[in-house]
Structure 1
Amino acid sequence: MEGVEPLRTVDVARESGYSVQQVRDLERLGVIPPADRSANGYRSYTPVHVHAVRAYRGLAGAVGPVEARELLARLRTLPLPEAASAISAVHVRLAREREEVLRAQEALRAIRREAGSGEPEAGSDAMTITELAGALGVRPSTLRFWEQEGLVTPERVTSLRARRYGLPAVRAARVVAALRGGGYGIPAVREIMGSLDRLDGLEATGRVLRERLDRIADRTVALLRAGADLAAVCGT
């Protein structure tokens, strides 16, 4: 870059908070553009590389290192409108994850109320498997799998034995979706769901959901902090 003093690997590392080896690894993986090489073989970087490494740090905090590497490498090849759209999609995903957990918390509060009163809440807002899958952002096959694993139990009311999800099943499915989205495996989710008839189980599940909200908030802040660096990467 004309008029800009070239940067050494150690300079990029210092400005980004990574080690020298990590900067080299990110270049090797294609996360940051290839550095120029001097006649004696030393790498020569520019501020663009610093922006790219910082952008990677934020993306990794938001979506994980593997997806961050793939996305950042792709951003450098996309036209600006498409690159901006790809970043916006990450913001939208995080917002949807947050809404999913908030709905799960409301479902858990309803389960707690029913446990305290001993009577199920009145209501007839039942869903088909297609409607519930759409509401949760999963495939119908996922709901059938959860049923096989004993996580969510629908009713079967038609002559064709079609699944029907009443309020208790919908609430359970929302909690399961939030737990699975938080990285909990099937055995752990089964244990948690089996504990919801106990006060301590309800409280423990509430803590799990609050911790998931905190993690989503941390990921969102990481993405926000990377905003200016992502814009610089997209503008190259």
Structure 2
Amino acid sequence: MGEPASGAQRVLLRTVDVARQSGYSVQQVRDLERLGVIPAAARSSNGYRSYTPLHVHALRAYRALAGAMGPVAARQMLARLRTETTAEAASAINAVHVRLAREREEALRAQRALRAIQAEAEATGCEQESDAMTITELAEALRVRPSTLRFWEQEGLVTPERVTSLRARRYGLPAIRAARIVTALRGAGYSIPAVREAMDSLRQLDGQGEAQRILRQRVEQIATRTVALLRAGADLAVVVEAAGRR
């Protein structure tokens, strides 16, 4: 025989009870059940749903997880946790913490890179003709492929100068700095459209100061997502432990 259900698990709740305790509306509870965020409720002979406190924990966990990783990923995570061993579930949750920590470190690294670019620009002062670089030299300096620089050019992110009849590219200091900013933003996880928007802002506003503002905002967003994940902790533990007992 299996272990008897705990007193908490024997408690039966109505849909309205679950809604009240989880912070969702009655319709949202039904919708999230249909989407598989929570297990299907038991049905009585008259068709009424019966839930348990586990459903409430799952809904609370989903709310916090959605803030940490997005609603689709949160749904997938909860469905996965209900079928995995405790060790597998703990590993999956830990991976989310690791991913957020990595995103934060990438954003901080981008901030440091931008500060270095700004300090270098201030120390250099005027631009020198000898400071221009070929596409190969710039690609090697940034540790990207020349094809990446060509793609950024096509996307309007970096604009090199062109010389000779063979249209060989030459990058002056403005283009070099733009390429370094693009590298920093891409390294921080920004998509090409987001980088384009940021670079447009740089051209219109306060240059690297605007880039720093964008990255500070990203660090703050990651912190908010991390707090949401921490908030999910206790409820996730209940979901994981319930799955482990099955």
TM-score of the aligned structures, taking structure 2 as reference length:
0.74
1:55 to 56, 61, 65: 61
1:180 aligns with 2:186: no
Q: Which amino acid aligns with 2:115?
A: R
Match of 2:238 in 1: 232
TM-score (norm 1): 0.77
Number of aligned positions between the proteins = 214
Find 2:20's aligned residue among 7, 14, 31.
Answer: 14
Change beyond 3 A, Cα 1:189–1:11: same
Q: Alignment partner for residue 31 of structure 1, among 22, 28, 37?
A: 37
Residue 36 of structure 2 aligns to a residue whose secondary structure is coil
Look up the SS of the partner of 1:185 in the other structure. helix
Q: CA contact under 8 A between 2:156 and 2:196: conserved in structure 1? A: no
* 1:219 aligns to 2:229 (yes or no): no
Structure 2 residue runs without a partner (length 5+): 128-137, 161-167, 169-175
Alpha-carbon distance in 1 for matches of 2:140, 2:89: 37
Separation in structure 2 between the aligned mates of residue 141 and residue 26 of structure 1, nearest angstrom = 45
Superposed displacement of residue 201, structure 1: 2.1
Q: Distance in 2 between matches of 1:103 and 1:151?
A: 20
CA distance 1:28–1:207, shift in 2 (3 Å): same
1:194 positional shift: 4.3
Q: What is the aligned partner in structure 1 of residue 198 from structure 2?
A: 189
Q: Which residue of 1 aligns with 2:11?
A: 5
Answer yes or no: is the 8 Å Cα contact 2:185–2:195 preserved in 1. no
Shift of 1:185: 3.0
* Matched ranges for 1:72-83 at <5 A: 72-83=78-89
Structure 2: how far apart are the matches of 1:141 and 1:21? 51
Amino acid at match of 2:16: V
Aligned to 2:111: 105
Residue 188 of structure 2 aligns to a residue whose secondary structure is helix
Change (3 A) 1:218 1:42: same
| In 2: Cα distance, 1:113 partner to 1:119 partner | 13
Please give the alpha-carbon distance, in whole angstroms, between the structure 1 residues aligned to 2:238 and 2:149: 42
Could you list the per-position Cα deviations for residues 127-185 of structure 1 after superposition, in whole angstroms to 9, with x for gaps in the alignment?
A: 7599659xxxxxx987764354243689xxxxxx9xxxxx954554012333616x953
Partner of 2:152: helix, strand, or coil?
A: helix
- Report if aligned partners of 2:182, 2:195 keep a CA contact under 8 Å in 1: no
